[in-house]
A = this chain, B = another copy of it.
Amino acid sequence: MAEHKILLTEAELPTHWYNVIPDLPSPPAPYVGPDGAPVPPEAMQAIFPPGIIEQEVSQERWIAIPEPVREALALWRPSPLYRALNLEKALGTPAKIYYKYEGVSPSGSHKPNSAVAQAYYNQQAGIKRLTTETGAGQWGSSLALAGQMFGLEVRIYMVKVSYEQKPFRRSMMETWGGEVIPSPSSLTETGKAALAKDPDNPGSLGLAISEAVEEAAGRADTNYALGSVLNHVLLHQTIIGQETKAALAKVGDYPDVVLAPCGGGSNVGGMMFPFLADKAAGKDIRLVAVEPSSCPTLTRGHYAYDYGDSAGHTPIMKMYTLGHDFMPPGIHAGGLRYHGDSALVSQLYDKGILEAVAVPQIATFQAGVEFARAEGIIPAPESCHSVRGAIDEALRAKEEGKEKTILFTLSGHGHFDMAAYDKYFAGELEDFEYPADAIDQALHNLPKVGT
């Protein structure tokens, strides 16, 4: 019988995170303030613990994973690497397809990989409470779980429209002891101002971030945690790529092309950074970020200085961006609806080390259904993007009659996204194109700092 799953033992769980910064072709651009001056790491102390701030700017290539974090990760890790034998057969492709499945975590995605690390460093710093924001709920539920593990209270500002439309992600957070507040709320000045202007404000991720940051900045016992974009988050996710390399080594294989869905960049960084050293050493490997064509940050955005949030409260980062006030259409891959991208991913894309493709929504669900019927697992809408990318690579290999090894990250399951599948089957999903004139609009609104 051919092996479907390549498993590692708990002893093979990585002992270190891989920090890509020392291996970048040039140092990353610093975060800056509205005046253009670099933001010193100390400025982040109001909302982040020392362990996290250190990691955000560290020059060390390998950073040891504390034993309590490894213990927490071991509840579901190492995650399985699958050979997609049934999908290969269904596609009739000569390509070999592997996928790393991150949906085995309790919250069903890769997000807890960073949530447990952040909860740990905050607990070590004597912090009692964490705040965060969530849209679709993947990150909020992961942080609720992590907080429970390390004895921290967690308050999650959940975009009000999601709070009302996605009650089950909310229930999940509450099951793990998290407190879920619909945002905008009357608990913060930002929220009160938004409600005063419009009592029926449906909320937005930008607004929820502002509420969570405001509360954390104002309370000594409370910090803030972010689920993507920042360097330390991508660092924590590098166990994905490390485990994948170790598993592939067991079967004596190596990918020609690696794909991951791309929103803020935590999947791309997590899977691809560990492969970068090989590429730098001359290995012929393609690393491809797959993003939605409705929010095509890498493929159609600008590489420029911009705010991380829509309200302009965060430091300014050099990144690919569609403009911080870009409002992506309401696609179902909520985790990919971000105007910008990780500074590290942006830098590597700018240098041509990472590639990117944009795929339309309907085609991603078509790929997700094809995958589910062959491999059983129903992918999250975000994960459908890398499935689409992988299937396209496999079909190209078939056309060209080429043997090829394709690897992708299946970042989560779709158990809380079945309403989106319903719409797909009912023919009610739409494809959105990022309008051409929006590029000028975005340029117009970029902060006037950096070069």
Contact = CB atoms under 8 A, between A and B. Distances in A.
Nearest to A422: B171
A415 B166 CA distance: 13
A415 B373 contact: no
Nearest to A177: B373
A296 interface: no
B4 A174 contact: no
Interface in A2-53: 2-5, 7, 9-11
A296 to B, nearest CB: 27
Interface in A404-426: 415-416, 418-419, 421-422, 425
A351 to B, nearest CB: 38
A144 to B, nearest CB: 10
Contact of A419 (B86, B171, B373): B171
A422 B74 contact: no
A427 B91 CA distance: 50
A372 B176 contact: yes
A445 interface: no
A40 to B, nearest CB: 37
B422 A106 contact: no
A372 B76 CA distance: 13
A4 B10 CA distance: 8
Q: State how many copies of this chain the complex holds.
A: 2
A416 B415 contact: yes
A376 B422 contact: no
A439 to B, nearest CB: 36
Contacts of A168: 415, 418-419
A152 B157 CA distance: 46
12 contacts: A2-B71, A3-B74, A4-B10, A145-B376, A167-B419, A168-B418, A168-B419, A171-B425, A172-B378, A174-B422, A175-B372, A175-B373
Interface of A: 1-5, 7, 9-11, 67, 70-71, 74-76, 86, 104-106, 108, 145, 148-149, 167-168, 171-172, 174-177, 369, 372-373, 375-378, 415-416, 418-419, 421-422, 425
Given A75-B376, A86-B149, A175-B421, 14 more contacts: A1-B11, A1-B70, A3-B74, A75-B375, A106-B376, A106-B378, A167-B419, A168-B415, A171-B418, A171-B422, A172-B418, A174-B421, A174-B425, A175-B418
